[in-house]
Amino acid sequence: MFLSVEDINRQCPRAVNPNDTNNWETFPFDDNCLKSFFHKLTAHLRRYYIWETAVYTSFYVLISICAIIGNGLVILAVVRKPAMRTARNVLIVNLALSNLMLALTTVPFLWLPSIDFDFPYSNFFCKFANALPGSNIYCSTLTISVGIFLKYFLKEIIFKIKNFIIL
């Protein structure tokens, strides 16, 4: 639903008659009327019933708990066993840390605005919370890229060594 200036003017008329002056569109709307109008408008935008909110919240909680437990176990397994501390496993731990940060920070802070259509925290925190998914994806992508290059170059080195030994 798109609103034009005329639609808002019908709901919150300006303090001047449009026939009296040529520049009546430059006169401001009443601030309290606009706040009330947009508050009523956002109340109509609620898209979930109570049961849908409960199901949606349950899925968010389930995803967060599974991500925290799974990534925590991966990190714990590599940290506790010295034999597991290989270059490949360090990259896997890096991915697990990135996903753990995503589960701990991004998922909970994106749940509330999707339910309530409002971000109750400060403007700085709003921008910070919206930057977290991008940084996690960036970290994951770079880690996967390093893992691919590592695997490729190790295969190339092993292949060259085998060819050298055979010759």
Q: What is the pLDDT of residues 96-144, one digit of tens each?
A: 998 898 888 877 777 777 776 666 777 888 788 778 888 888 888 888 8
Q: Are 89 and 74 in contact (CB under 8 A)?
A: no
Which positions ≥6 away from 104 have C-beta within 8 Å? Answer: 64, 68
Tokens of 12: 């919150």
CATH code for the structural domain at 53-166: 1.20.1070.10
**Joined tokens for residue 156:** 């190339």
Identify the DSSP state of 30: P
pLDDT digits (tens, 9 = 90+) for 39-57: 777 766 666 777 888 888 8
